[in-house]
Chains A and B, each alone.
Chain A
């Protein structure tokens, strides 16, 4: 090496170039937006999404925010006044289309030949007897009673959200109104806009708190491993710069941070520091071997020694994460692209930027003078692995196969759940609201059934009434609302209580039309249009579910389909509940497709690199076994595959394959130096193995931060990633060397 390598020659330019790209990416950050809406994960051409949009265009937006006031007994003057004041202020709040509350309920009476329709809550009674009378009135009034729980410990109101306002603006406004009207009752919020708002807030919180924790943990483990700051800040810097570039690209492309893409920094922490760690480990190895070596020469050497394995590991990882492109879930595919870009950038940073930067430093004196005869705990572990692998290779392979088979059985128990209500932990405010709505107010997840044709036909309405009765008998169904409820209520205003026709569907379509016409003219058009469209051509039935799980949702949808299979006026069944079910199917299909594609890409790449199919097989096999074990364990532990855990396999492939390649590459090199299989495996394990262990440990410790997340799926995700990385580590350090020693593959013996 007479003339300096170009990396050394242009080191300043390299540093400035990569730093500039990072700064430019950072400037794009203000454009980043968070999107917590689960519906946006589903492609626009999905049938249910199209139906939902059609339904919205027919009936208008129907997004509801629920406010529940909980106290000992809410029927008292103080609560009444607070409740009324809040409603008055909410009515004028920006983004509130209207408020529906018990104050809308009318007390219909016949007195002296006149029908009176007075508000049920016009004057609040001031003595116990009148309060008892009021309670009886509420019980007999279907419209009013639906706002109370049976023991009067909770009273609720519904806010219809204007589609033009964001969840955040509306909820912050509502919170201001509540703060302006303090009281002893606890106010609990619920409904999909609030759940989305909470998810959005929690994503921000997770980014603000979890990311630094993960990075601090990573830094600590790197310092523990390398015992010098160069070994800490350089891999750390690569991770940070890769993250900045990926998020910059995200902002540039106008993509949003979702519950899935929040995994991007976590993936990069796991993957992007991999290459830097191996370079640092090699640098330390070199300065220990030759204490007089010049730093520029060391940097050139680490570049030459590790350039190829690092490029190969990066390419296979990029291939693995690009497997996510097969996902129908849009953010999953976006994650694949962004992670691939981040990994590619970290590759360039590792092979060019890191040596350039490292060349400005002096070799660590402490590392140079480290006592080689004194074994660290890592070295002790590596020696143990080496002993097991070289002594019992067949036994290890056999045990691994048994573990994989046991794991595979767990796949039969695996379930898929994409219910966002399950994202929140038991004691959270959101969880509390969800429980209260599901248990006391019929549930916050809806299925809509659209009927078209002559929707005022009494025969159709009679059939709808029978569907309603059957569905209401199911414990998973909370409430069923349809034009039938409205029309029967209207009939009460035109027939005496003891007269035929009272609380019944009228016999003729004309009569139904006239009742609705009179009602709509009184400023109640919006109430009518919740069920029957503008020109009376379509009507809908709204079914709420008390259990938001996919299993129950699927069962009810199946039941509705069977119930209405011969219904001539049925157009379609739709709802956010079906989106969730479709999403679950997408998760499973996407998971299988991305896994297969990733394994195929890796198999082909490694077969090409090592010019042997066996190489592809040996690399892909331990990984496949680790994946089987992971998903099997999820089945045994009843952990559902959801939007977050669905991405586990891609991360596992991305990380796991790197460890295998690093081992195989070093093994090949040591074998070429004339060592036999066992010796080559021993040297590879005790040298490259060190980098692999440091890498895995830093990732494991980093991912532990996820167990502090606000979301249950992210907590499980964190724990499962730790388990996956540990499995990949054991595969690379025990299973792969065992296979290599036992099978003696020819591709590793080629010069």
Chain B
């Protein structure tokens, strides 16, 4: 299949992730949508390295994106669990402790 079909899939994935981040109110659901955005970026890198560059750098960059996504998920969910222990809520509008 061609170059453009992969880019279309990646763009749709990114746009759906943006909609999910903005529309959801649950912090865990927002983190789920963030994973969609990161996957769209990694898919774009691998697509370009197949059809344009033909070297291995896109694959390495996709691997680093996966590493950063794993670290982000671990720390983000730890923060969510801590927030739930303190406030007993995971509504994103309840995270007001840093407001003056």
Whether A and B are associated in the same complex: the answer reads: no
Q: Which residues of A contact B (CB under 8 A)?
A: none
Q: B residues near A, CB below 8 A?
A: none
